[in-house]
Amino acid sequence: MEILNEKNFNEKTEKGVVVVDFFANWCGPCRMMSPILEDVQEELKDKVKIYKVDVDESENLARKFGVMSIPSIFIFKDGEMVDKSVGLIMKDVLVDRINKHI
């Protein structure tokens, strides 16, 4: 999964439905979230793009979106944040939330 930073974030989230996972490598729940996101990407291939933002590498982005706990999952539609969840989220719940915006 591609990792976004301050330079490419706006470009990658400006069109369509995009899920962004704010994470850190040292975060246990974040590591548990990765295979769930991979499954969601596989299931919704052409309908959604999923990216990650390393909060340690992109502190300004984390601050901009008010990320206080990780994993934080944001759903963007055409550049606007339309949904947010904090903590581990199960695949079926995430798919339902994404489908509301497709």
Q: How many domains does the chain have?
A: 1
Tens digits of per-residue pLDDT, 1-22? 899 999 999 999 999 999 999 9
The parent domain of residue 8 ranges over 3-99
The pLDDT of residue 15 is 96
The pLDDT of residue 23 is 98
Task: Tell me whether residue 27 is one of the annotated catalytic residues.
Answer: yes
Predicted TM-score of the model (pTM): 0.96
Task: Tell me whether residue 89 is one of the annotated catalytic residues.
Answer: no
Q: Give the domain CATH number at 68.
A: 3.40.30.10
* Catalytic entry in 1, 12, 16, 27: 27
* Catalytic entry in 4, 20, 30, 75: 30
**Angle, alpha carbons 68-73-75 (nearest 5°):** 125
Q: SS3 of 91, please?
A: helix
Residue linked to tokens 């996101």: 37
